[in-house]
Amino acid sequence: MRALAVTMALATAAGPAALAPAQAQEATRGMPIIRDTEIEQLLRDYAQPILRAAGMAKQNVKVVVLNDRSFNAFVMDGRHIFINAGALFDAKTPNEVIGVFAHETGHLAGGHLLKLREQLATAQTASIVALLLGVGAAVAGARSGAGDAGMAAIMAPQSAIQRSLLAYVRTQEDAADHAGAKFLAATGQSGRGMLELFRRLSSESLFNSRFIDPYMQSHPMPAERVAALDTLVKASPHFNAKDPDALQARHDMMRAKLAGFLERPDTVARRYPLGDNSLAAKYARAISTYRHADLRNAIAQMDALIQAQPNNPYFYELKGQALLEGGRAVDAVAPLRQAAKLSNGAPLVQMMLAQALIGTNNPKVAEEAVALLRGALLREPEAPQAYAQLAMAYGRKGDLAQADLAASQAAFTRGDLMTARQLASRAKTRLPIGSPQWVQADDIVNLKPSNARN
């Protein structure tokens, strides 16, 4: 429960706030996920118009940010768009990120994942047949003394199948570019950001691409892709449309936040020198200061941010997080209450507030912590640390049965079925037989390993 938390899906990460996205756990197993209310809300605002234009607004597509400094974005299923923190760092304008989302939405809307699986199945069948024929030729060659010819008979079909499959993937990438440009035009947005981003990436990879076989690439070669995009997006009547100033400001704050949390202090200082008095620069410096053990100075900087924007929930959230992680849970409660209020009860903020209340060791606020966590779990139903905090809150109240059940649910959402069953069994002995909570515990006890997360 941090303003920005990095976690490994289905694993307990360092720190009190590591949370895996509720619906993304299976798709992101083992991936380092970044959770942050401010960033996630901004990316939703970027993606939603595109998804509506693609007819996918009701499909509950989630954007998941990965803690990876390389530039990348991709889809793995029909419900998530994954984007690396590096892509957000490198994108200088909202339109560049929106262009990335438009391209990835093109893959989703085109059903490319299903089609690719079918193509892979066909390729696998062809590969097996080619391998068997090649082995037969190799055996015959060995008998006749032409062993090299037999090996060539194995390798040639494999290479042809691989090239055919990669050609198919390149076709999908081209189709996604065209669909993305269509979605941008339909929402009155420019494709300039997508074009400039790919052009920048093309320049960076230009030297290496001279030594690459274009027929062995999964994506179109950079120069070809940029040329095609240039023609495509310039045909739109919205090519010269600009990002709203307010959206650009939010984008700058997102990049500053990522820098403050993920980069070294000297890197932050170079990126946002003291002479830079922009709000984004002050945000990055405040985060970096607190992240590197100067809490008093950091709180002063955060108070200045709050004074500049007293209705910004994320400044209060940041201050609360810094105080909480600095061992000052009592002092963290007030700013986190304000953050929860101004963010309309964002679940991650509610979880952090509950954690601060529990950290005060005051049994009188345990009931409030329970209510906050229950409300947050309605929207984040697979958050292991939220269940763990809930177990602690019930423990403060002396309700050991509910504490055991919550601890069991925490273990279950982490994928630790053995511990979950043990705790659920103990909870059953303390809960009224047949009650809803007893039934929940019984379900965990009787869950078969094949149905559990592993």
Residue 163 sits in the same domain as residue 196:
yes
Same domain, 70 and 122: no
Total structural domains in the chain?
A: 2
Residue 166 inside a domain? The answer is yes
Query: 24 with 121, same domain?
Result: no
Pick the last residue of a domain from 58, 91, 124: 91
* pLDDT at residue 215, as a whole number: 37
Residue 454 lies in a domain: no
Residues 20, 131 within the same domain: no
Structure token digits, residue 426: 């103990």
**83 and 141 housed in the same domain:** no
Domain end call among 61, 91, 121: 91
DSSP 200-233: HHHHHHHHHHTTS-GGG-SS--HHHHHHHHHHHH
Domain assignment of residue 118, yes or no: yes
Instruction: Give 245: exposed, middle or buried? Use CB within 10 Å, 0-12, 13-18, 19+.
Output: exposed
Q: Global pTM?
A: 0.80
The domain boundary, picked from 91, 124, 150, lies at 91
**Do 77 and 36 belong together in one domain?**
yes
Residues 185 and 146 in one domain: yes
Residue 204 has a pLDDT of 60
CA distances from 18 to 11, 86, 177, 256 (A): 9, 20, 35, 21
Residues 126 and 230 in one domain: yes
Same domain, 117 and 222: yes
Cα 167 to Cα 156: distance, rounded to the nearest angstrom: 17
DSSP-assigned letter for residue 72: -
CATH of the domain at 38: 3.30.2010
| Residue 295 domain flag | no
Find all residues with CB under 8 Å of 418, minimum gap 6, and list them. none
Burial of 298 (0-12, 13-18, 19+ CB in 10 A): buried
Q: Check residue 196 and give its pLDDT.
A: 86
Together in a domain, 212 and 128: yes
Angle in degrees, CA 440, 443, 445, rounded to 5:
110
Residue 289 tokens read as 């200061």
Q: Is residue 324 part of a domain?
A: no
* Rounded CA separation 43/236 (Å): 24
Q: What is the pLDDT of residue 2?
A: 58
Give the residue numbers spanning the domain of 33: 5-91
**φ, ψ dihedrals at 147, nearest 5°:** -65, -40
Averages of pLDDT over each 10 residues, the chain, 454 residues: 47 28 46 91 96 91 91 82 91 94 88 56 48 43 50 49 55 81 94 85 50 41 76 91 96 97 95 97 97 92 98 98 96 98 96 97 94 95 93 95 97 93 96 95 85 48
Identify the three-state secondary structure at position 64: strand
Task: Write out the two tokens for 293.
Answer: 């053990």
One domain, residues 135 and 186: yes
**pLDDT value, residue 160:** 55
Torsion sign, CA atoms 275, 281, 286, 288: negative
Residue 356 lies in a domain: no
Residue 10 phi/psi, 5-degree rounding, is 60, 30
Residue 399 lies in a domain: no
Sequential DSSP letters for 279-343: HHHHHHHHHHHHHTT-HHHHHHHHHHHHHH-TT-HHHHHHHHHHHHHTT-HHHHHHHHHHHHHHT
For residue 336, CA distances in Å to 41, 300, 319 come to 18, 17, 8
Is residue 119 assigned to a domain?
yes
**Same-domain pairing of 117 and 229:** yes
Q: How many CB atoms lie within 10 A of CB 326?
A: 16
